[in-house]
């Protein structure tokens, strides 16, 4: 893991399926660390233990499912959160403890923002960091291309174009200090704005 902000760590890149590279991000908080997305790297999970563990793990959508969800829950007692429209997909691997279905604040400083389009239950998270920064976790709704340009996570036959456009319009209003995607085409899914 590498530290990208005083309270934020990025996992090593991985390729869960051909053509897809991903990162996860650990937000260090006094009242319980939050892991955004998922990692399949055991050594990264060991590093999370050194950084205080994982109290919550929030998934942006079904593409972040993997066997390590159970491992993270068992090792740290982490509560898994995801959108209600992704619940049946999540339950195949690890049933979520927390279901999101609307725009709301969670844990006092994390805004849950449903952004359907990439998948029906795609969800973004806007964090108001204790460091005074605003981090926008976009999942695959937006991802960083190899050229360093943010692109929409539209997949023909899989995504809903009109719904995704509406979600992107909503995200344009967020004004974050940093944007962090799960999927990426370059070496990092993190960019300061």
pLDDT per position as a tens digit, 137-146: 998 888 777 7
Q: What CATH class is the domain 2-192?
A: alpha beta
Rounded CA separation 121/159 (Å): 11
Q: Domain-by-domain residue ranges, the chain?
A: 2-192
**Residue 95: phi, psi to the nearest 5?**
-65, 135
Q: What is the pTM of this model?
A: 0.91
For helices 68-76 and 42-50, the axis angle rounded to 10 degrees is 20
Residue 164 has pLDDT above 70, yes or no: yes
Task: Name the pLDDT band for 91 (thresholds 50, 70, 90).
Answer: confident
Name which of 37, 57, 40 is nearest 98 in CA terms. 57
| 8 Å CB contact between 136 and 176 | yes
pLDDT in tens, 8-60: 999 998 876 666 778 899 999 999 999 999 999 999 999 999 999 999 999 98
What is the Cα gyration radius of the chain?
A: 15
């Amino acid at each position: 893991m590498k530290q990208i902000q005083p309270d934020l760590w990025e996992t090593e890149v991985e390729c869960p399926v051909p053509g897809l590279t991903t990162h996860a991000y650990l937000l260090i908080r006094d009242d319980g660390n939050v892991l955004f997305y998922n990692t399949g790297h055991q050594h990264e999970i060991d590093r999370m233990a050194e950084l205080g563990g994982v109290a919550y793990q929030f998934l942006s959508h079904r593409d972040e499912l993997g066997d390590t969800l159970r491992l993270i829950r068992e090792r740290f007692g982490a509560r898994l959160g995801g959108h209600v429209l992704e619940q049946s997909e999540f339950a195949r691997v690890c049933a979520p403890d927390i279901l999101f279905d609307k725009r709301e604040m969670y844990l006092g400083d994390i805004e849950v923002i449903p952004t359907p389009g990439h998948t029906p239950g795609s969800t973004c998270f806007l964090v108001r960091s204790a460091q005074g920064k605003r981090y926008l976790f976009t999942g695959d709704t937006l991802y960083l291309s190899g050229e360093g340009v943010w692109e929409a996570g539209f997949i023909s036959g899989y995504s809903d174009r009109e719904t995704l456009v509406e979600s992107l319009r909503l995200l344009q209003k967020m004004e974050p200090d940093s944007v962090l995607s799960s999927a990426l085409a370059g070496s990092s899914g993190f960019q300061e704005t």
